A and B are shown apart, each in its own frame.
Chain A
């Protein structure tokens, strides 16, 4: 029984087409070479057909949502950067990154159907992750906007942390699946809180603390938050022990306080969040411009292309959601949030249906990363929490981010394929089983 979602797929492509049509015909934006649009639609539709063909039992809704979100991102990046004086046009390079991401995903779909092998190399994953993060401290690494996040590899520049966190999620999933029973069954208590055995918890804490520490020195606050929250959530799901969450929260508060005291860049972010009016043209400028633009959108938005979100520095990457809220209004922004929620829902569903612990934990870890990343940046640009630089998955401009998000989608697809196939086989009458 092969499931299909051709209609959502076509709808997602239509939304993208309408977005471009609005910009070109109503806003009289100069038309980009239309052939690129056709490439984009062709690539994603081919990707969809390929996944249906090679992974017939995999989740059907993930790809239409990915198409919708990447399409929306492409429209917005085009709107924010194409043919605007003094701004480098980024739409074509984003389209290229979507192509690279699609290719990477196809590679996973074709060659990682037996993804469980990855868990055998879980310690290698840790080394790879640390290696990636450490690369930014080598001469290849360089600083952008005060954060040491980038690596220059000749033709391409990338943000290693986008990939390091996927590797670490694979490690945590594999390790916790092995040790979850022993980690849950501990009896030592401290002040009423049951403590895990150091022997089993040690490696987790070590990897956790190590990656966090490196990221904080990199000044990559957004990723630090993710690296902190995702393993904690995985630990909770693996052991079912709320103690980990409480302990984690205490650690978090303590850690936040220490980083606040130790690092100027953290203090600046928090102060800009608490009182941006203190320095409205300096440290508070970015968040205030974001809030002004969001408010400017109102219920129905200014209309695509009619807002002023170009006033926000870095709008095409971290602040792209402000453009969504400004130009599509509360209605449009809620729809986009709903799309992210549906992706999260499908991810959790994949975790629920997965047959083994490691698969469950991997699907959950990847989904949690996706959901937390979305919440951290939307919360940041709406001033719900302090701003930490991180991309909005699939929508923001950025090669590493797009490719990373496609890798997450690919892994979720192969996990869902396995449980979907098992389910399909169970549904067959016994005599038809092989």
Chain B
């Protein structure tokens, strides 16, 4: 009988071991996927019961914090956004009912603290004691003054719709990423149904998620391609006022004709006919396509912390015919982009042709101040050689000096830029400006786009709200950074 008793015991022991195995499966192997399961409400409950970390701007301004309220069942935390709408496209919202967006979801494992494995000794002790662990604090690179300024000025334009992006070209730190209209992330649970129905789409981040024709700002890329093809700024071209391609006739903006002029002047006055000619005769589809790709067209930026819709040239290069190439040269046809991409294009020229990795998170610290993560600056791509970039820089300075773009001037500072008035029928054209300053030692690069902001005056001039907004952003930054 004893033999069978032992066998029965082995059976039980095997059963107990299997139970440990089952637990290990759930608690180690399947843990992550279950934590992220949409039916699993534990994470949201935790966010109510434990304070999430702070989200702050680069100067320490609090953008999101958890506020505790004593209730019968213990303290319940609510997310508060003191800076409101100007920052909500970046910071995001945290809703028990509607999920989360922005940094709130992208940095959730840091902000919620509890889901992550212990990093510091204090974490471990706290976790062993079962204490409520406040989440880690996330500091962003944003400059709150620029963010607010851009948001206000975009809101005051004719359409009130647009976006802006400002970046430190040398480090890749994003200083402002603004969309208008925006929304107040406080009380999102109450407002969400209304926001999702709003035809102005305030929940969409126009800076990163929408795409628009970049218009003449794309000439920065076409000019770069031309220089790579051997064209010099002093080379002259003839502009009869139009260019015929099979099935399409290119006109200059407002039907002007400039006669004979150099590449530099053609860039400064934004002469479409000459750029179309150069693109067809000197550059060719392949080089233009490659140059745009080097600047980030076609890149989905899916490693960026916020969702980005990648900029696009519209067709695969082998389908470009002359008519397409001509229009792509000045950012029309099906070329589509946003200020996130065009801001990076400007920053790349400013930084000698080197595109730095765009970053929004400066560092993550535990509640007691220990640094948990500090992303290092890195190079994303080398788009142009330094000499070519310097030449494009000069061309862009010429837009303000030769082109007489007085609205972009900042006293005592050399500004480089390129305007764009992108046709977007049936409405007025979009107003664009891609710029950086000081041109001889760039501290900030800015791209601004105002939807249907290129209103045509009775005199025939387009207003350029994007230029003044970009100038104000750069001036404000240089003022407080330059001391």
Shortest distance in angstroms between B232's beta carbon and chain A's nearest beta carbon?
64
A-contact 0/1 string along B42-57, CB 8 Å cutoff:
1001100000000000
Binary contact track A308-348/B, C-beta < 8 Å → 1, others 0: 10010000000000000101011001100110110011001
Closest to B9 in A: A348
Contact with A along B21-52 (1 / 0, CB 8 A): 01110111011001101011110011000000
CB distance B26 to A291 under 8 Å?
yes
Interfacial chain A residues near B460, Cβ < 8 Å: none
B130 x A379 contact (CB < 8 A):
no
Tell me the complex Cα distance, A337–B130, Å. Answer: 21
A382 lies within 8 A of chain B by Cβ? yes
How many Å lie between the Cα of A368 and that of B26 in the bound state? 27
Tell me the bound Cα distance from A325 to B30 in angstroms: 14
Does B375 lie at the interface of the complex (its beta carbon under 8 Å from any beta carbon of A)?
no
Question: B34, A308: Cβ atoms under 8 Å?
Answer: no
Q: B28, A330: Cβ atoms under 8 Å?
A: yes
Bound together, the chains give a CA A179 to CA B472 distance in angstroms of 101
Which residues from B are CB-within-8-Å of A337? 16, 19-20, 23
Query: Hey, which chain B residues are within 8 Å of A193, CB to CB?
Result: none
Knowing A303-B127, A333-B23, A375-B19, the reply to whether A288 touches B39 (Cβ < 8 A) is yes
User: Which B residues lie within 8 Å of A327 (CB)?
Assistant: 130
Residues on B with C-beta less than 8 A from A225 are none
A-chain residues with CB within 8 Å of residue B20 when the two chains form the complex:
330, 333-334, 337
Q: Which of A292-306 contact B (CB under 8 A)?
A: 292-306
Q: Tell whether, in the assembled complex, residue A296 and residue B28 are in contact, meaning their CB atoms are under 8 Å apart.
A: no
Query: Given known contacts A240-B4, A300-B127, A384-B18, is B27 in contact with A330 (CB within 8 Å)?
Result: yes
Residue in A26, A233, A298, A341 whose CB lies within 8 Å of B31: A298
In the complex, what's the smallest C-beta–C-beta distance from B75 to chain A, in angstroms?
10
Residues A295 and B34 in contact, CB atoms below 8 Å apart: yes
Q: Known: A237-B8, A341-B13. Contact between A295 and B39, CB under 8 A?
A: no
Please, which residues of chain A bring their CB within 8 A of the CB of B132? 306
Question: In the docked arrangement, what's the CA distance between A382 and B5, Å?
Answer: 28
Q: In chain A, what residue has the closest Cβ to B16?
A: A341
Q: How far is the CA of A299 from the CA of B6 in the complex (A)?
A: 32
Are A237 and B5 in touch, CB under 8 angstroms? Answer: yes
In the bound complex, CA of A327 to CA of B128 (Å): 10
User: Which among A294, A299, A338, A340 has the greatest number of chain B C-beta atoms within 10 A?
Assistant: A294
A84 to B73, CA, bound (A): 7
- CB-based contact A302/B35 at 8 Å: no
Chain B residues with Cβ below 8 Å from A418 are none
**A294 contacts B130, CB within 8 Å?**
no
Q: Is the CB of B8 within 8 A of A334?
A: no
Asked if A411 CB lies within 8 Å of chain B CBs, one says: no
Q: Type the 1/0 row for B110-142, where 1 means its CB is closer than 8 Å to any CB of A.
A: 000010010000000001111110000000000
Interface SS of A by simple majority? helix
Q: A195 on the interface (CB 8 Å rule)?
A: no
Q: A348-B8, A384-B19 are in contact. Are A295 and B27 (CB under 8 A)?
A: yes
Chain B, Cβ-Cβ closest to A306: B130
Contact A26 B130 (CB under 8 A): yes
Q: Contact string, A341-379, partner B, CB cutoff 8 A, digits 1/0? A: 100110010011000010010001000100110110011
**Are B15 and A294 interface neighbours, CB within 8 A?**
no
1/0 per residue, CB under 8 A from B, across A86-123: the answer is: 00000000000000000000000000000000000000
Given the contacts A85-B73, A325-B27, A303 and B128 also touching, CB distance less than 8 Å? yes
Whether A364 and B42, one on each chain, are in contact in the complex, defined by CB atoms closer than 8 angstroms, is no
Question: A382–B23 contact, CB under 8 A?
Answer: yes
Q: Which residue of B lies closest to A25 (CB)?
A: B129
Question: Which residue in B18, B35, B72, B127 is a CB contact (below 8 Å) of A85?
Answer: B72
Tell me the minimal C-beta distance from B45 to chain A in angstroms.
Answer: 5
Residue A75, interface by CB 8 Å: no
A131 at the B interface (CB under 8 A): no
Q: How far is the CB of A18 from chain B (nearest CB, A)?
A: 11
Contact indicator B131/A26 (Cβ below 8 Å): yes
Question: Is the C-beta of B376 less than 8 angstroms from some C-beta in chain A?
Answer: no
Among A295, A345, A352, which residue has its beta carbon within 8 angstroms of that of B26?
A: A295
The answer to whether A357 and B130 have CB atoms under 8 Å apart is no
Residues of chain B within 8 A of A357, CB atoms compared: 1
Would A294 and B1 be within 8 Å (CB), given that A237-B8, A327-B130, A375-B16 are in contact?
no
B199 interface residue per 8 A CB criterion: no
Most A-side CB within 10 Å, residue of B4, B6, B9, B24: B9
> How close is B145's CB to chain A, nearest CB, in angstroms?
40
A279-B213 Cα distance, complex, nearest whole Å: 47
Q: Which of A237, A325, A330, A384 contacts B1 (CB 8 A)?
A: A237
Tell me, rounded to whole Å, the shortest Cβ–Cβ distance linking A185 to chain B. Answer: 15
| B1, A360: Cβ atoms closer than 8 Å | yes
Q: How far is the CA of A201 from the CA of B78 in the complex (A)?
A: 68
When chains A and B are docked, how far (Å) is the Cα of A296 from the Cα of B114?
10
Docked complex Cα distance between A378 and B45 (Å): 25
Give Cα A292 to B129, complex, Å: 21
* Distance to closest chain B CB from A424 (angstroms): 20
Kindly state the separation between the CA atoms of A345 and B130 in the bound complex, as whole angstroms: 32
Residues 233-245 of chain A, each 1 if its beta carbon lies under 8 Å from chain B, else 0: 1001110100000
CA distance A368 to B5 in the complex (A): 10
- Cα of A360 to Cα of B6 in the assembled complex, Å: 12
Which residues on A sit within 8 Å (CB–CB) of B5? 237, 348, 351-352, 360, 364
**Are A382 and B45 within 8 A (Cβ)?**
no
Beta-carbon contact of A384 and B22 below 8 Å = yes
Cβ-neighbour of B46 out of A85, A308, A360, A378 (below 8 A)? A308
Contacts A348-B9, A351-B5, A375-B19; A311 near B41 (Cβ below 8 A): yes
> A203 near B: Cβ within 8 Å?
no
Which A residue sits closest to B73, measured CB to CB?
A85
Residue numbers in A under 8 Å from B15 (CB-CB): 371, 375, 379
Given contacts A238-B1, A302-B114, contact A296 B19 (CB under 8 A): no
Residues of A within 8 A of B24 (CB): 330
Whether A236 lies near B114 (C-beta < 8 A) is no
Residues in chain A within 8 A of chain B (CB atoms): 22, 26-27, 84-85, 233, 236-238, 240, 277, 280-281, 288, 291-306, 308, 311, 325, 327, 329-330, 333-334, 337-338, 340-341, 344-345, 348, 351-352, 357, 360, 364, 368, 371-372, 374-375, 378-379, 382-384
The 14 listed contacts between A and B (C-beta, < 8 Å) are A85-B72, A85-B73, A294-B26, A297-B27, A298-B31, A311-B42, A337-B19, A345-B9, A352-B2, A364-B5, A371-B12, A372-B12, A374-B16, A375-B16
Nearest 10 A/B pairs, CB to CB: A303-B130, A295-B34, A306-B130, A371-B12, A348-B9, A382-B22, A237-B4, A375-B15, A330-B27, A384-B22
14 further interface pairs, Cβ-Cβ under 8 Å (given A240-B1, A303-B128): A237-B4, A237-B5, A295-B27, A295-B30, A308-B45, A311-B45, A325-B27, A327-B130, A344-B9, A352-B6, A364-B5, A371-B15, A375-B12, A378-B19
